[in-house]
Amino acid sequence: MPSHDQLSRGLDSDIVATHHRFLAAMEGRLPHMPVDTKERYFVILASMVGKLESPEKPLRDILHEMMAEAATYIVQELGAKR
């Protein structure tokens, strides 16, 4: 049975790999994304990164704040005519 440290390192590795997949997916989408969508995405992403840079803030609190802030942009994106 894996130790707690082994499990933690495995999860760290999985998270890093998923971050790389996320970057590749977004890099593929950006050239085709309308400017207004890019603007909304940037606002959400910049806000989330800013919050994550405060190590004293629990991830749970960050997620709660982000859900509230992102709601407006999500509604805009879902209502956007294509």
- What number is the average pLDDT over the span 55-79? 88
> 72 pLDDT exceeds 90?
no
What pLDDT was estimated at residue 20?
Answer: 98
What percentage of residues in the chain have a pLDDT greater than 70? 98
What percentage of residues in the chain have a pLDDT greater than 90? 65
Nearest alpha carbon to residue 51 among 41, 59, 43: 59
End-to-end CA gap in the chain: 51
**13: number of CA atoms within 13 Å, CB side?**
6
What pLDDT was estimated at residue 82?
Answer: 62
